[in-house]
Structure 1
Amino acid sequence: MVRKMGVYAVIAYTLYGLFYYWYLFYFANTSLPFEFQGSQADPTTFLNGRELMLSEEYSKTRNLLFFLSTPLEWLFYFLILIFGLSKAFKKWADEASKNQFLQRAIYLIWLSLFAFAATFPLSYISFSLSKTYNISTQTFASWMKDELIDFWINYGMMLVIVSVLYWLIKKSQKRWWFYAWLLTIPFTLFLMFLQPVIIDPLYNDFYPLKNKELETEILSLAKKANIPADHVYEVNMAEKTNALNAYVTGIGSNSRIVLWDTTLNRLNNDQILFIMAHEMAHYVEKHLYIGIAGYILLSLLGLYLTHRIMEWAMARWGRELKVQGIADIRSFPLLLMILSMFMFAASPFSNMVSRYQENRADQYAIEMMKNPEAAITAFQELTRSGLSQVNPPLLVKIFRYGHPTMLERIARIEQYQFEHRPKE
């Protein structure tokens, strides 16, 4: 029975992968609707033939890797359970120490190492792909360093979460999900407070913007938006990527305005000011706090469903999964699998909300800067630097895009230009 379940899971994953390969490479139509051909949203007007070809190739492969990666995690956790590896990790941990906390730490290091090994091939393929298409400028050593930082940060947070979570489950197997949800609120806010000053600097160097004239203009925009910022930060991303980005991060006194140096190198001041006005709009319209509230509500639903599904799975397949009950730490891979499935299923909704907020931020920036030409050329350069598809396939947009497509963004600005054209 166990062997059959494993075989069926591998077959299901293979069929799933073949479906998305067929959809992305043979079925999906990414050509522009007739009414947008020749407009400023048409990539043939701002990309050369080679860039057009590369953007299609790169986007298709990158999208396929995205759709393969998350279900690979589900398959990994499922196989870990049915083939008894979770049970083996627990046994090794128990043999290594009598201390309960150390047992959890040892169990999690084994689980984390196996998960890292299982997902490493796809991660490396993604890195190699970005190098091949000149998106990434990162050396393998630098990339590997970032991967290891990810590993240890995730491990540290997981150890804290698991220790608290399984203590709650042992105290209340009926209400643990609710108590865990209550703790996610301060934990999420704490992480967001730490992100700009503790976590982000582990990956890159941040320093005050060198271009003081540009910094003055950005801070002037921030003052108009009532953003409490005294500095604009620059981050050295050119060593890692040719892509462009800028953002406002953190909460409270740790809020930061950040520009990638690639953005500073590739865009002019008008284009940068439009992008910064867009980022500031998220602060003005409280999108960060709306996002936190939405995440917290989704967490409540996700934890409750996880509780119910785990109880059902334990009652029906506990023996096959080699787990005695929910309170048994060996059930942790099942919990991770269910939560990952829930987040993937919820991503179309969260992406839809995000696209609405991004649309609002675009509108705010257009009306604030009143420079549609700078906005359009900035979006065109973002498309070129990331080899992005202007009109991605529907399923890609639904599951991947937290921003409107470039077609939608540029077309909306052209509409603004038309509506505000000088009257004769």
Structure 2
Amino acid sequence: MEYVVQGIVQKNFPQFSEAHVATIQHQYSDISETKSEIVNLGVIQENPATARRTLEILKYLHKYVPIGQNGHPYPILCHGDQLSVERMVEAKLSMAFSEDEADQLTGLIPRPQGFHKRCIVLQDSMNMLFSGSTVGDKGSLFHIKNRFGFRTVKKKISDCVNSVVDFFNFVTEGSVCMIVCNILDINNIDMNSDVIPEDENERQEMFKDICKSVVRLIWPHIDMKSIQQAAEGNVIQDSDSDDDRQYLDDTILYWNDQTQDELEETLPYYDEDSDDEFDLPEVVDQNSGDSVFKYSCSMLWRGLLHMVQTNAERHNNGDQLMSDWRLDMVSRYSKIVGSVGKALEDILQVNVIQDYIPHASSSDGSSKAKLKKFIEEYGVEELFVDKGEERHHTGFQDFKHNISVKNPEKLNARLNKYVKALENEEFLYN
């Protein structure tokens, strides 16, 4: 995440234009930089909405799976959304006992596509931060949208994915530049700061320290207690709860019509029945400190997070992609249901924290004129200064900027179900 900030600062601050931003390298970097040869296999006249038709699609695709010298096929990923992956797994299971290895569809590996996951996480960000009730509150996403003319941005991102991505990138770059201006004690990005040393080495060190400071400022609180509860799977359910006591055993892996009632309270998808422009979050305790600061930090954190994940895909960085999925499992899927084994605590302490601070590159960016206007508009609001006093955007009185498992017992049940599905897949591929 520091690399994202470094790229933004280097691009927008003249005194740091010569600063060195480390490039992200991994074992497949050289191969990934070469241009791929794309072959169009045509349109398959089958409906992927059923497992039977999905099986026909996989049979067609299997003809193009390359065979190694040892006679075994190379593993080839088949991407799709969650439902498509479910049907591909079911189709492969139906052919698992075929005598002919080719009929077993070996070599085709069903996996969810990163784009679909990123859209879901982006929708979560809009659900969390974008509210019409804040139309008059400076520094809120809704106010920024109106002030800078992002008219095509809506809360339901499926109608405007690219517009929402551009919007978040602009807000993220503007927020980073605003924090750096405050650190350097300058009014805008085109001004020179007296605190920046002339020596090249000292300037490079200051450049790194500033970028680290930005990341540390907006780093969320990690609720290790809830994660540990989820990992141990021994959360005691309230005896007065009206929830179904059998949900720990009956949690299903994929969404269908029968599970709509069970999951609708935990799935953070966009609610089509909600008011897109003026949906009011629940009002809670107002004595919660500086919620504007927490909201602003969360807004910037999630913007940087989206940049990190996008660039990991662009650079074919498998290790970073795995780190993305681990974080999203806790921060996003915890809203659905809780965790398996002691591993979750290790995921947050090792895989997430260690991976996210240093990795990723900068975004495509926004024009400097708009960024300057952004800083002029919101710099005086001190959005990233914790005043310790009661401040909040309308409807965000008790806003929390943290990573926690909302329903540990439910996530435990869901991931236990995933384990069973993975065992089925392991049977298919081994």
Q: Given the two structures, how large is their TM-score scaled by the length of structure 1?
A: 0.28
Of the two structures, which has the highest relative contact order with CA contacts closer than 8 Å and spacing of 6 or more?
A: 2
Whose helix proportion is higher, 1 or 2? 1
Q: Given the two structures, how large is their TM-score scaled by the length of structure 2?
A: 0.28
